[in-house]
Amino acid sequence: MSETKNVFISHHHKDDKSVTDFTNLLGGKNYNIRNSSIRINKEKNRERLEKKQIPQQTLERLLRMKMRWAGTVVVLIGSQTHSRKWVNWEIEQAAKLGKRIIGVFMQGGKDADMPENLEKFGDGVVGWNSNKIIDALEGKDVGWCNSDGAPRKPENNVIRIGCQ
């Protein structure tokens, strides 16, 4: 299998457990990833964020630093992902940084849960399928699927290229 992949996992913080489930899913296939995204595990940090005690500029700078380190940005799509301001912001920043952006429908995720910026800037969307996710992380064209796994075309079929 390939070397360890550096990823940034964009997600709604109420879905933190799904980030662990995601890494475990790939670990079961002997596929190693290092996640640079921010997870709120400490009550003190959760409270500071909810009370908006961390300046927005500080949070944005930290997220951009962590995202620069990653080769791919994975967006976990759950029931509230589409309404999360920070998820859409992270996707837009990933596009500005030229990152590959892949959406992954979590268990129970629906088509209506897709973040707007994933439609605009994403490189593909797959279901909760380890082989498809690994293909996406390896840079293969995985296409776009609905939450039921059926193929579909993205709303904004933009071909993204990188400079060499």
Residue 65 sits at φ, ψ, to 5 deg, of -60, -45
Predicted local confidence at residue 42, as pLDDT: 55
User: What integer pLDDT is reported at residue 28 of this predicted model?
Assistant: 83
Say yes or no to pLDDT of 164 above 50.
no
Q: Write down the pTM of the prediction.
A: 0.85
Helix (H) or strand (E) holding 145: strand 144-145
How many domains does the chain fold into? 1
Say if 157 falls within a structural domain: no
pLDDT digits 0-9 by tens, 58-111: 888 888 888 998 999 999 999 888 888 899 999 999 999 999 999 999 988 899
Q: Which residues pair with 7 in a beta bridge?
A: 35, 72
Determine, yes or no, domain membership for 163: no
Lowest mean pLDDT among 59-68, 85-94, 142-151, 153-162: 153-162
In a domain? residue 142: yes
Instruction: Give me the domain span that covers residue 9.
Output: 5-152
Q: Assess if residue 79 is contained within a domain.
A: yes
Per-residue burial over 36-52, b if 16 or more Cβ lie within 10 Å, else e, is: bbbeeeeeeeeeeeeee
> Does some domain include residue 99?
yes
Over range 111-128, report the average pLDDT.
Answer: 93
**164 occurs within a structural domain:** no
Would you state the pLDDT for residue 155? 73
User: Over the stretch 27-70, which tens digit does the pLDDT of each residue have?
Assistant: 888 888 888 777 655 565 666 666 666 778 888 888 888 899 89
Average pLDDT score, the chain? 85
Residue 154: pLDDT over 80: no
pLDDT at 60: 86
Question: 159 in a domain, yes or no?
Answer: no
Do residues 26 and 133 touch, judged by C-beta distance below 8 A?
A: yes
Residue 158 lies in a domain: no
Do strands 100-105 and 72-77 pair parallel, antiparallel, or not at all (unpaired)? parallel
| Residue 74's CATH number | 3.40.50.9200
